[in-house]
Amino acid sequence: MRISSFSIHPVAVADPPIRSSYGLHSPYALRTILILNTDDGITGIAEAHGGDGSIAALNAIQPMVLGMDPFQLHALWSNWGKPDTSGDRSQTWMVPGENPRDARTRAFAAVEAACLDIIGKAVGKPVCDLLGGRARDAAPFSAYLFYKHAGGGGEGADAREDEYGECLSPETMVRQCRQMIEKYGYKEIKLKGGVLEPEIEIETIRALRREFGPGYPLRIDPNCAWSVETSVHVGRSLREELSGGGYLEDPTASMEGMAEVRKRLLAEGIDTPLASNVAVTGLDDVVPAWRTDAVQVVLSDPHYWGGIRNVQRLSDLCDALGVGVSMHSNNHLGVSMMIMAHACCVSPGMHFACDTHYPWQSEQDEVIEGGRVKFVEGAVVIPDKPGLGIELDMDQVGRLEERYNKLTYRKRDDAAEMRKHVDPAWQRILPRW
């Protein structure tokens, strides 16, 4: 079997004005759909980050993919040569999906997912059953809460209804969480922080705990917005709330900063795990993060960590080191949803509910046949279908691609969006508090 065609479809997906320490989301999130066909008529699909950087990396791998046997993934990776991993591979300064240092890993991840989809279809097995068998039948996800301005995303005739309204206070965040839990059944909660004064974010976490109780583990992620001092203060203030299955995610920048926060919290008898997808972005980072005790929960991602198999490798490595594993997300559609669900199900060490931005996207913008992926009590059940278990709706892909072609931007730039809509002088300052 050989890959006989390779096509990429950039798409634009309506996205509400949600905030993080990187800034503000633009009206459309950018994604890329990859389609591979084989000479015996099997189609494999994948989804990757969007915009020019992602497309350039996919174009660069294309000549090696055309004509390859989809079973030979090791050969593809080694023939491409080792990517340049020198310099800053972190996501401290660049929003996920925009660091050119992991562009190759991300392109490989997309090809790998499409090849696994092909292999699954060829042998009649779901992807997670190709990779040693599933550790679980359903992938649990968490309610991923964002401070946000009013608006549902999209523009003009494409503007979407605002399901969650403005949420810039503890009370409105509790309402957002209630809506999300009622709709999807999530059992764990993640708050994207680094947006408002730390005292307001502390109060938001407390309000969530009062409302939902200790049965819903809580995590907060300010994407490095805090100094070591502030991180220790937040860790101390939320000692109870972040215990029992929660964590403190990327409170401060750099492995050294994280290690210092950990040391100071432990000195006060506070054992809240620190999680990271910013300081730790690849397998090479795991041992240094473990050795310095900077990170107790590593946040995988089958996109920028180099694929589903690397998430599985990461899970095994973390298991051996006694480190936890969870999963990071970015805005995504149903194809990524299934890539993430399969990655979770083949990773025995994944004991936390994974992140997903999926509730922030809408039914109108889904690209898979049959509408959106469903959650059952907060989890995505692996369908009894071969490969990833989904097919593309090409009319929808065409519609979202047409929309992409009309946009004036080709990369995610949350700081520029912040200057346009909130504060013309806004700069990303780290630490801000």
Sign of the torsion formed by the C-alpha atoms of 143, 146, 151 and 154: negative
Residues 207-246: x where in contact with Mg ion by CB under 5 A, - otherwise, as a string:
--------------x-------------------------
328 forms part of the interface with ligand GLR (CB under 6 A):
yes
Is residue 176 a contact residue for ligand GLR (CB under 6 A)?
A: no
Considering CB distances under 5 to 8 angstroms, the limit depending on partner class, which of Mg ion, ligand GLR, none binds residue 22? ligand GLR
Dihedral sign of CA atoms 299, 132, 83, 291 in order = positive
The torsion angle over the Cα atoms of residues 400, 100, 108 and 249, rounded to 10 degrees, is -90
In whole angstroms, the minimum distance from the beta carbon of 12 to Mg ion comes to 24
Report the nearest approach of ligand GLR to the CB of residue 211 (Å): 23
Q: Which residue has the tokens 């992807």?
A: 127
Q: What minimum distance in Å lies between the beta carbon of 276 and Mg ion?
A: 7
C-alpha separations of 281 from 140, 254, 287, 350, 371 in Å: 22, 12, 12, 17, 32
The CB density around residue 158, as the number of other CB atoms within 10 Å, is 15
Residue in 328, 332, 342, 357 annotated catalytic: 328
- Whether 421 is catalytic is no
Cα 299 to Cα 282: distance, rounded to the nearest angstrom:
10
User: Is residue 95 at the binding interface for ligand GLR, with CB under 6 A as the rule?
Assistant: yes
Of 187-206, binders to ligand GLR (CB under 6 A) are 192
- Binding ligand GLR (rule: CB under 6 A), the pick from 6, 11, 20, 361 is 20
Q: Out of 117, 221, 366, 413, point to the residue binding ligand GLR (CB under 6 A).
A: 221
Tokens linked to 90? 């972190």
Query: Measured from the CB of residue 90, what is the shortest distance to ligand GLR in angstroms?
Result: 11
Burial grade of 1 (CB within 10 A; 0-12, 13-18, 19 or more): middle
Q: Is 192 a catalytic residue?
A: yes
DSSP state, 424? T
Given the rule CB under 5 A, which of 6-14, 105-113, 247-255, 369-377 is the region that contacts Mg ion? 247-255
Active-site residue (options: 148, 190, 192, 332): 192
Q: What is the DSSP string of 296-308?
A: SEEEE-TTTTSSH
**Residue 246, C-beta contacts closer than 8 angstroms, at least 6 positions apart:** 217, 218, 219, 272
Nearest residue to 352 (alpha-carbon basis) of 134, 128, 133, 140:
140
* By CB under 6 A, residue 277 contacts ligand GLR: yes
For residue 333, state whether it binds ligand GLR (rule: CB under 6 A).
no
Q: Given candidates 223, 312, 326, 336, which one binds ligand GLR under the rule CB under 6 A?
A: 223
Q: Does 38 bind Mg ion (CB under 5 A)?
A: no
- Please check whether residue 325 is in contact with residue 351, taking contact to mean a CB–CB distance below 8 angstroms: yes
Task: Determine whether 385 is exposed, middle or buried from the number of CB atoms within 10 Å of its CB (0-12, 13-18, 19+).
Answer: middle
**Residue type at position 148:** K
Q: Which is nearer to ligand GLR, 126 or 431 (CB)?
A: 431
SS3 84: coil
The verdict on 330 binding ligand GLR (CB under 6 A) reads: yes
Among 105, 277, 310, 362, binds Mg ion (CB under 5 A): 277
User: Could you list the active site residues?
Assistant: 192, 328
Q: Which residues bind ligand GLR (CB under 6 A)?
A: 20, 22, 95-96, 192, 221, 223, 277, 328-330, 355, 357
- Residues of this chain that interact with Mg ion (CB under 5 A) are 221, 249, 277
